[in-house]
Amino acid sequence: MGILEIGSNGSRPKTQAAAGLVRRPTGADYCQSIFAHLNGSKALLRTLGVTSCRGREGVSSVASGLANAAAAEGKKVLLVDANPDRAALHRAYRSKDRPGLCDILAERASLQEAIQRVGKSSLSLLPAGRPGPRLLWQADEALCSRLLEAVRTGFDVLVWDLPPVNRPAFPGHLAALLDGVVWVMTAGRVSAAAAAEAKQRMESLHLHLLGIVLNRASRCRPANGFTRR
Q: Provide the pLDDT for residue 218.
A: 56
DSSP 3-state assignment of 67? helix
First to last CA, the chain: 5
pLDDT < 70 stretches in the chain? 1-23, 41-43, 133-134, 217-229
Q: Provide the pLDDT for residue 227.
A: 38
Domains of the chain, by residue range, sit at 3-15+29-215
Q: Provide the pLDDT for residue 138.
A: 78
For the CA atoms of the chain, what is the radius of gyration?
Answer: 17
Q: Provide the pLDDT for residue 21.
A: 57
- CATH fold, domain 3-15+29-215, is Rossmann fold (3.40.50)
Q: Provide the pLDDT for residue 42.
A: 57
Sorted by sequence, the CB contacts under 8 Å of residue 20 that are 6+ apart come out as none
DSSP 3-state assignment of 114? helix
